[in-house]
Amino acid sequence: MVEETLSAEEPTVETKETLKVEDLHVYFHTYAGAVKAVNGVSFVLKSGERFGLVGESGSGKSTIALSLLRLIKPPGRIEGGSVYLNGVDLVSLSEEQMRRKRLDEIALVAQGAMNSLNPVRRIRDQFLLAFGDHDIDVKRSGFDDHIGDLLSRVGLGRDVANMFPHELSGGMKQRVCIALAISLSPSVIIADEPTSALDVVVQWQVMDTLRRVQEDLSASVILIGHDMGLMAQFVDRLGVMYAGRLVEIATVRDMFNDPLHPYGQMLIASLPSLESRKDSLQGIPGITPSLLNPPSGCPFHTRCPKVMEHCKTVTPELQEVRQNHWVACHLYEEA
Amino acid sequence: MSTLLEARNVSKIFGGGLFDKSRTVALEDFSFQIDTDKPSVTSIVGESGSGKTTLARLLLGLVAPTEGEVLYYGKNLERLGGSDRKQFLRDIQVIFQDPFEVYNPFYRIDHVLDTPIRNFGLARGETARKELINESLEAVGIRPEEILGRFPHELSGGQRQRIMVARALLLRPKLIIADEPVSMVDASLRATILGSLLRLNREFGISLIYITHDLTTAFQVSEDIMVLYRGTVAEAGDVDKVVREPEHPYTRLLVGSIPLPDPDLPWEGERAIGRPAGELGESGEKFCKFNDRCPFAMPMCVQSDPPLFQTHANRVTSCFLYRESPELPMAKMTSIFKSATREGPPEDTAQLDGLDAELEVSQENSSTPTGGDD
């Protein structure tokens, strides 16, 4: 019960910060050693904000999603840092306290969430199961109304409640998952590549739905993915992950118009557009470093075109070099 | 001029056996030609279920058409004999979507490159073999010493996919069919893979059929594009026309749904065309496949299927909104493509800087990437 006293002592000063992540470390302990999937990540999510986390596969973005919900399973472990949700440090909560927070205050729309629906249960039952876990009396009358409301909020018919998952298309299933995620009006919704398996028209429908319900609830959203186009169109602020670290955080406009970190610059330069075909097929040379044995100093120095001598030894800290524009790069240290 | 590969009024229907009532029309009355003398890059774009992968499998001879025929130098693929068959297997190469599944995990990378050399007798002696492999790998921007002797699991998805491109190049094919080659690869590596495919087209004169669901990369690499919807061609022709000024309501919807990587550009999705019109009455035997989602649908759209209307020198649209324009028979579709009508090489000479920059940067870190204006 040490955890409870700890959490009780935490200052619960209500700021506009819904979620605050401080120096989060998540390691996976393998036979070959500790894989540092998340290595000192800090960021703040404001209330009602849409925040994006982009990165290549293996950059640690999905691990962040799972650790915010404390769903990291062994051999993975949260090694250090704090995650304050509405002022309460989730890392210090007991398993039971954390279970109550999930869905109620922080909900997940997972990657390929449509495959997370139980294939032998009607949609209605999947809602009832979720409510039952949160001590909501599911026998109360008018409950089908409530489920119907949730479904119509995500643009589905009320009759969907009586269907089985296989009767729905991928986009509809993903919207059911959004309806489930918002069923207890959480203050934070984490969407981990919610549209990665969907066609582009359906992707638009799902993201439009997510945006609408998020605004309805005035919840905050963390969108995790690698599609820069989706980020540009959906989020307010964007964090760029590289090898388990956040290397740049800026508003989405600043990020696309004036990226500062060399990785961010090359990432944005590599994006294909419909505007012109000039200089557009430029990839980022090299490969992502191993997280088992990350390079010393700046993790990007092995691929960076502007690498300097001390990049190879000193790890740059994330610092605010312009207003609301944070970057972890030695190029900006004098500023 | 000779036709390398031709699909002539091809249809593919799945199911519909003696006792099976459910029939899925994967591709309907499709015609297409690839010529040998003008290397072209053609994209085939569509959502899942549009028939694009069925089309690739038909062109590769992996499935037989229900109606119509696929011809290799005028000979039906199903009846190709010994030496023709071998030549076909060499001339037409394929790159699949998943760079993980195509490798046998028990063999070193060398195996996947040695096999075609052995089967087709491409090189005599060890030195010639090594030279050929090195040349192919360098053409796709991979340094041979980095990958030879290693196992597939030691390489990234991007590297594996480029080795597949190198493998195809070993055989000096006339056509490469790439079915979603970059959809399972990270964004930062996509450009390099597409760049290496384009280089094969420009430097070795290999034609490409690029199959994808991603209009942006299709726009980047190809000259001509075909937009498929439920097994029919919705719109086809010059990629600049089709993607930038789409005509068919479905193409408009697709283009409007792309989240462009610029926060100042709109993302309209369904708002780009509006809601479906609704009641059109009883549907006839033939109908426009898009009518149930189309806000412009008219009664004629459920009574007959729209032919191809040639709305521009290099573009056809299969929509009754353009019925004023002259009709073009399906068999002649490729004749209006930009690659067929232009003289000489394509005007937009490829953007291969990425690939060259790659080799430079990895050797010495001096070049500056574009896009960083600080």
Pick from A78, A151, A166: which is nearest to A115 by CA? A166
Average pLDDT over residues A237-259: 92
The residue of A211, A227, A282 whose CB has the most chain B CBs within 10 angstroms, and thus the best one to mutate to test that interface, is A282
A contacts of B228 (beta carbons < 8 Å): none
Domain boundaries, chain B: 3-223+346-360, 234-336
Average pLDDT over residues B117-124: 88
Name which of A34-43, A210-219, B13-22 the model is least confident about: B13-22
B contacts of A199 (beta carbons < 8 Å): 47-48, 213
Distance, in Å, from the CA atom of A192 to the CA atom of A195, rounded to the nearest integer, reads 9
**Nearest C-alpha of chain B: how many angstroms from A167?**
17
pLDDT of residue A43: 92
Amino acid at A92: S
DSSP B313: T
Model confidence at B363, pLDDT cuts 50, 70, 90, reads: very low
| Residue A265 predicted with pLDDT over 50 | yes
pLDDT of residue A191: 92
pLDDT tens string B191-211: 888 888 888 888 888 999 999
Asked if the Cβ–Cβ distance from A273 to B258 is below 8 Å, we say: no
What's the longest Cα–Cα distance across chain A? 69
Average pLDDT over residues B181-191: 78
Model confidence at B346, pLDDT cuts 50, 70, 90, reads: low
| Residue B274 predicted with pLDDT over 80 | no
pLDDT of residue A115: 77
Measured N-to-C along each axis, helices B353-363 and B187-204 cross at an angle, to the nearest 10 degrees, of 110
Average pLDDT over residues B268-273: 82
pLDDT of residue A114: 67
Task: Give chain B's radius of gyration (CA, Å).
Answer: 22
Average pLDDT over residues A50-55: 92
Model confidence at B15, pLDDT cuts 50, 70, 90, reads: confident
Question: Is B264 strand, coil or helix?
Answer: coil
**Nearest C-alpha of chain A: how many angstroms from B77?**
32
pLDDT of residue B360: 40
Average pLDDT over residues B64-72: 91
pLDDT of residue A250: 94
* A positions 281-310 inside 8 Å of B (CB): 281-288, 303-307
* A positions 9-38 inside 8 Å of B (CB): none
DSSP A22: E
pLDDT of residue A61: 87
Pick from B220, B212, B239, B183: which is nearest to B52 by CA? B212
**How buried is B56 (Cβ within 10 angstroms: 0-12 exposed, 13-18 middle, 19+ buried)?**
buried
Model confidence at B300, pLDDT cuts 50, 70, 90, reads: confident
Asked if the Cβ–Cβ distance from A282 to B270 is below 8 Å, we say: no
Neighbours of B203 (CB within 10 A): 12
- Contact partners, residue B145, CB within 8 Å, separation at least 6: none
pLDDT > 90 in chain B, percent: 27
User: Looking at chain B, which residue has its C-alpha nearest residue A200?
Assistant: B257
**Nearest C-alpha of chain A: how many angstroms from B72?**
32
What's the longest Cα–Cα distance across chain B? 71
| Residue A212 predicted with pLDDT over 60 | yes
pLDDT of residue B183: 80
Q: Which residue has the higher pLDDT, A15 or B13?
A: B13
| Residue B162 predicted with pLDDT over 90 | no
Name which of A119-133, A166-180, B334-348 the model is least confident about: B334-348
* A positions 155-184 inside 8 Å of B (CB): none
A232 contacts chain B (CB < 8 A): yes
pLDDT tens string A89-121: 999 989 898 998 888 899 998 877 667 888 899
Provide the edge-to-edge strand list for the sheet that holds A33-46. Answer: A33-46, A17-30, A76-85, A88-89
Pairing outcome for strands B327-328 and B308-312: antiparallel
| Residue B228 predicted with pLDDT over 90 | yes
Average pLDDT over residues A181-188: 90
Pick from B149, B117, B120, B121: which is nearest to B133 by CA? B117
Name which of A207-221, A270-284, B66-80 the model is least confident about: A270-284
pLDDT of residue B38: 82
Asked if the Cβ–Cβ distance from A256 to B263 is below 8 Å, we say: yes
Alpha helices in chain A, H assignment, sequence order: 2-9, 61-68, 95-101, 123-132, 143-153, 170-181, 200-217, 228-234, 252-257, 262-269
pLDDT of residue A140: 67
Torsion angle in degrees (nearest 10) through CA of B101, B107, B109, B111: -110
Name which of A5-9, A187-191, B341-345 the model is least confident about: A5-9
- Contact partners, residue A331, CB within 8 Å, separation at least 6: A260, A262, A306, A308, B374
The CATH architecture to which B3-223+346-360 belongs is 3-Layer(aba) Sandwich (3.40)
Average pLDDT over residues B338-355: 61
pLDDT of residue B348: 53
| Residue A9 predicted with pLDDT over 50 | no
3-state secondary structure B57-122: HHHCCCCCCCEEEEEECCEEHHHCCHHHHHHHHHHEEEECCCCCCCCCCCCCHHHHHHHHHHHHCC
Query: Would you list the DSSP string of B292-304?
Result: GG-TT--GGGGTS
pLDDT of residue A293: 81
Return the sign of the alpha-carbon dihedral for residues A290, B108, B176, B132. Answer: positive
Q: Which residue has the higher pLDDT, B47 or B93?
A: B93
| Residue A260 predicted with pLDDT over 90 | yes
Cβ distance A193 to A222 under 8 Å?
no
Return the sign of the alpha-carbon dihedral for residues B238, B243, B244, B246. Answer: positive
Name which of A31-35, A253-257, A289-293 the model is least confident about: A289-293
